[in-house]
Structure 1
Amino acid sequence: MESCIQELHFSNLHIPVTINHKFRVHPSSPTPADQSPHHTLYLSNLDDLIGARVFTPSVYFYRSTNNQPKNGESLVLKRLQDALTEVLVPYYPLSGRLREVGNGKLQVFFGEEQGALMVSANSLMALADLGDLTVPNPAWLPLIFQHPGEEAYKILEMPLLIAQVTFFTCGGFSLGIRLCHCMCDGFGAMQFLASWAATAKAGKLIADPEPVWDREAFKPRNPPMVKYQHLEYLPIEERSNLTNSLWETKPLQKCYRISKEFQCRVKNIAQKQDSSLVCSTFDAMAAHIWRSWVKALDVKPLDYNLRLTFSVNVRTKLETLKLRKGFYGNVVCLACAMSTVDSLMNDSVSMTTRLVKEARLRVTEDYLRSTVDYMEVKRPKKLEFGGKLMITQWTRFDMYETADFGWGKPVYAGPIDLRPTPQVCVLLPQGGAESGGDQSMLVCLCLPPAAVHKFTRILSLNDCT
């Protein structure tokens, strides 16, 4: 394997965690929700589409400081809790709950027994016992709080923000966060996290920019006008061997560090193969990952149509609608590229890159409006995985820079376990206190054990492109 692409490994371990306390955190001063016993908030169709009805889990690791006092654990917990009570004033919707109203539409409501949930926990292990802290590891799941017996995808009447602080014997700790995707997209989540961290660090409320709700900006048109086919949401009959390969076996979570040099090389290959192609690095890398994945899984039949979906931030593409600075709701659309298995196996990387680029460029403000109206008319009830690879870009988020609560940048910031949704590939930034400005990215995805070697070889360009 080339030195500029490195397969990463994580430790298979069991992390014993003892939950000490669970407590609700409420806004420190009155909010609009306190002014009316029936206060509710509207969620847009971008907020409550089926793909957003999940909790996004992430974990942040912090090493101990040399001058940490003996009561360091209580001070850490107090700083995080005090800052959260302050931040929940401007971000008070995160202290609410979700319920369904007419036609399955979601709504935020408020009551006395609400608020965010914080959990204090301890482990008898040290951070050094956890192995490489730069590689997402499914073994870290105990660091994210879940209610005993909690059903999958449950979001109704759940705390919309759940934070678990786990202290290790070395003095280091982790902050495990579950944030409901209905309340904000990745950019909105980073805005909230930055405010919480800055408030903790400064000891006073810092909300810059001031959070803006304004979800009514994305109300559907009357009557709705669905102008596009929206292949990203259409059910496709699963008549390939993908389901058996990924869902009925025990897939392995794999992670690769891809250097900036290698990313540029893939882009250059695509553009040299087609002199008329001008693409982004993401276009080329997404195409290369998709093709490598399909080849490694040896998908059959060859005439089967496969889809690649990925989120596009539409904030920069809004022309007639101008959102106020500080808007933290969902402003993303799914782009969808489609190709037969045969084409992905045999066409050049430039042809697949063009498909990805065209899918990305199709997502405009008009496409977003059509998506909102499509959800109003169809309101899909389940996630469609048929013939699909979904790429999620976390490389666009300043996860490390925004998560300094006063203890420096985290050693790691990001997701944990991809295996529950094995058709998702996550692109992560190489960051953290010890990264030294490395511009590599991490490619994390799930593979059947029999496909790992082949995928690694193809991804490394030790194969025909």
Structure 2
Amino acid sequence: MAPLVQEVHFPQLHIPITIDRKFPVLPAGPIPASPGDSLYLSNLDDMIGARVFTPTVYFYKSNSLTSESRSLADVLHDALAAVLVPYYPLSGRMRETKNGKLEIFFEAGQGAIMVEAHSKMVLADLGDLTVPNPGWQPLVYRFPNEEPYKILDMPLLIAQVTMFSCGGFSLGLRLCHCICDGLGAMQVLRAWAATTKSGTLAIDPEPCWDREIFRPRAPPVVKFPHIEFRRIDDGSSLTKSLWIAKPVQRCYKISPEFQARVKTLAKEEAFPCTTFDAMAAHIWRSWVKALDVKPEDYQLRLTFSVNGRQKLKNPPLKDGFYGNAVCVACAVSSVSELIGGSLSNTASLVHEARLGVSEEYLRSTIDYVEVHRPMRLEFGGKLTITQWTRFSIYESADFGWGRPLYAGPIDLTPTPQVCILLPGGESDPSGTMVVCICLPKSASEKFRELFSLID
């Protein structure tokens, strides 16, 4: 019987690749934007946390769609070119306007970028293809001397196809988060995959831009303190522990039985606790204990994204909207309360923060960004948990050669105060969750022990 919590070890890798060619992907037909035109981005698209590229990688055993005469990159290029007609904003570029506000602009010859590469390695050399591995970085294209966090004047979608000598291959994607949130990215990916599979444009639902629905109020009305954005001088040992000591990425497979047990313990206060509430609380407490954060009266923050789609009634979002419709929720607790309090107390903080994201909270967030325009990420006393378990990432990435062996992120270490919850993957559809988190080596064994023992 598999353990309830299983740490998954992945090898340190050096993947030598050869880039064979790099070429633009232009929309295959006319689009409703001409050179000189621009598109409005909402303050949810424009938040400092969205000003990044989200890198993901997808591994496949083999490709059965292409003939000897057509490369896989050409097949994917043609399907993406077709998809870029309805999803034409992805063919533009990002620029700043007054006050640092972002918008998309269009000029001739922009488009997405496709990279074709190969490696002499085989997929079996890459280790466990069920959890992310920072060694996979070469499979996602970065421009030479590219600055960290650069999004201005960059292609908004960058795709790299890497062929391995066994016949398997990977698709590495970088998609600008300002264009779409996780659910929006799944919609774009699904359209590209369905179009590749069918050989003709296949999009359902029709994409909807409609960012003006999130315009700020005039005048802005900020009704909440929005501590998720507040700059806090980190007077704790937390930042020193994580950033000075080089953190390492750790991944744990969490069985459905363990998730259910954590949820049962978290529900002792008799509130309608979800699996996310319980697991987020358990991760937060284990993380703080393992890092031995001092002083004990220091206030810590747990932030996580809440999907606002179902909360919007006035007016509701149209079907096919693929922009950012997420809001950042924030739970606050002192170190001593996290260490000395119960799991259910912490879970109730997560629960209240999650339920606190209402339509009015989302509108207040938009107005807060309009007034303050935060231009730097704040890490003081913060852990951010990102939930990918509800994304249909494996189903969405079936281009016609079956679902990927692995679909998801690669490397958390550039942002060591982020924890990602991933689905168990194609090889384990039983409800297993994968928890990926960064810790200094000195704290990683303690975290595993604390996290595994909940009773």
TM-score, structure 1 length as denominator?
Answer: 0.96
Q: Which residue of 2 aligns with 1:335?
A: 329
2:66–2:72: 8 Å Cα contact kept in structure 1?
Answer: no
| CA offsets 1:283-310 (integer angstroms, 9 cap, x no match) | 0000000000000000000000000000
Candidates 439, 446, 450, aligned match of 2:431:
439
Cα distance in 2 for partners of 1:174, 1:137 equals 14
Per the TM alignment, residue 75 of structure 1 is displaced from its structure 2 partner at its CA by: 3.2
Matching of residue 92 in structure 1 with residue 81 in structure 2: no
2:91–2:155: 8 Å Cα contact kept in structure 1?
Answer: yes
Cα distance in 2 for partners of 1:28, 1:64 equals 27
Backbone CA RMSD of aligned residues: 1.3
Matching of residue 71 in structure 1 with residue 68 in structure 2: yes
SS in 2 for 1:128: helix
- State, as a whole percentage, how many aligned pairs show the same letter: 64
| CA offsets 1:354-373 (integer angstroms, 9 cap, x no match) | 00000000001100000000
Cα distance in 1 for partners of 2:211, 2:132 equals 33
SS in 2 for 1:400: helix
Listed as ranges, the matches of 1:314-463 within 5 Å are 314-432=308-426, 434-435=427-428, 437-461=429-453
2:250–2:438: 8 Å Cα contact kept in structure 1?
Answer: yes
Kindly provide the amino acid, as one letter, of the partner of residue 243 in structure 1: T
1:31–1:89: 8 Å Cα contact kept in structure 2?
Answer: yes
Cα distance in 1 for partners of 2:352, 2:256 equals 24
Cα distance in 2 for partners of 1:69, 1:405 equals 12
Cα distance in 2 for partners of 1:71, 1:186 equals 35
Candidates 222, 226, 229, aligned match of 1:230:
226
Listed as ranges, the matches of 1:86-235 within 5 Å are 86-235=82-231
1:431–1:438: 8 Å Cα contact kept in structure 2?
Answer: no
Per the TM alignment, residue 113 of structure 1 is displaced from its structure 2 partner at its CA by: 3.0
SS in 1 for 2:71: helix
SS in 2 for 1:287: helix
Per the TM alignment, residue 38 of structure 1 is displaced from its structure 2 partner at its CA by: 1.9
1:56–1:180: 8 Å Cα contact kept in structure 2?
Answer: yes
1:335–1:362: 8 Å Cα contact kept in structure 2?
Answer: yes
Kindly provide the amino acid, as one letter, of the partner of residue 340 in structure 1: S
SS in 2 for 1:309: strand
2:423–2:434: 8 Å Cα contact kept in structure 1?
Answer: yes
Per the TM alignment, residue 244 of structure 1 is displaced from its structure 2 partner at its CA by: 1.2
SS in 2 for 1:111: coil
SS in 1 for 2:393: coil
Cα distance in 2 for partners of 1:52, 1:373 equals 16
Cα distance in 2 for partners of 1:3, 1:20 equals 44
2:65–2:401: 8 Å Cα contact kept in structure 1?
Answer: no
SS in 1 for 2:154: coil
TM-score, structure 2 length as denominator?
Answer: 0.98
Kindly provide the amino acid, as one letter, of the partner of residue 217 in structure 1: I
SS in 1 for 2:430: coil
Q: Which residue of 2 aligns with 1:27?
A: 27
Say if 1:68 and 1:111 are closer, same or farther in 2 by CA, change over 3 A: closer
Kindly provide the amino acid, as one letter, of the partner of residue 8 in structure 2: L
Say if 1:403 and 1:69 are closer, same or farther in 2 by CA, change over 3 A: closer
Cα distance in 2 for partners of 1:233, 1:69 equals 48
Per the TM alignment, residue 277 of structure 1 is displaced from its structure 2 partner at its CA by: 2.1
SS in 2 for 1:117: strand
Kindly provide the amino acid, as one letter, of the partner of residue 331 in structure 1: A
Per the TM alignment, residue 2 of structure 1 is displaced from its structure 2 partner at its CA by: 8.1
SS in 2 for 1:247: helix
Q: Give structure 2 stretches of 5+ with no counterpart.
A: none
Cα distance in 2 for partners of 1:63, 1:206 equals 24
Kindly provide the amino acid, as one letter, of the partner of residue 23 in structure 2: F
SS in 2 for 1:136: coil
Cα distance in 1 for partners of 2:383, 2:301 equals 6
Say if 1:110 and 1:68 are closer, same or farther in 2 by CA, change over 3 A: closer
Matching of residue 282 in structure 1 with residue 303 in structure 2: no
Per the TM alignment, residue 321 of structure 1 is displaced from its structure 2 partner at its CA by: 1.8
Task: Report runs of 4+ in structure 1 exceeding 2 Å deviation.
Answer: 67-72
| CA offsets 1:315-351 (integer angstroms, 9 cap, x no match) | 0111212111000000000000000000000100000
Per the TM alignment, residue 13 of structure 1 is displaced from its structure 2 partner at its CA by: 1.4
Q: Which residue of 1 aligns with 2:47?
A: 49
Kindly provide the amino acid, as one letter, of the partner of residue 37 in structure 2: H
Per the TM alignment, residue 110 of structure 1 is displaced from its structure 2 partner at its CA by: 0.6
| CA offsets 1:241-269 (integer angstroms, 9 cap, x no match) | 11111101111100000011110100101
Per the TM alignment, residue 68 of structure 1 is displaced from its structure 2 partner at its CA by: 7.8
1:49–1:380: 8 Å Cα contact kept in structure 2?
Answer: yes
SS in 2 for 1:142: helix
Per the TM alignment, residue 70 of structure 1 is displaced from its structure 2 partner at its CA by: 7.5
Cα distance in 2 for partners of 1:453, 1:11 equals 18
Cα distance in 2 for partners of 1:420, 1:126 equals 27
Aligned residues: 455
Cα distance in 2 for partners of 1:180, 1:323 equals 21
SS in 1 for 2:250: strand
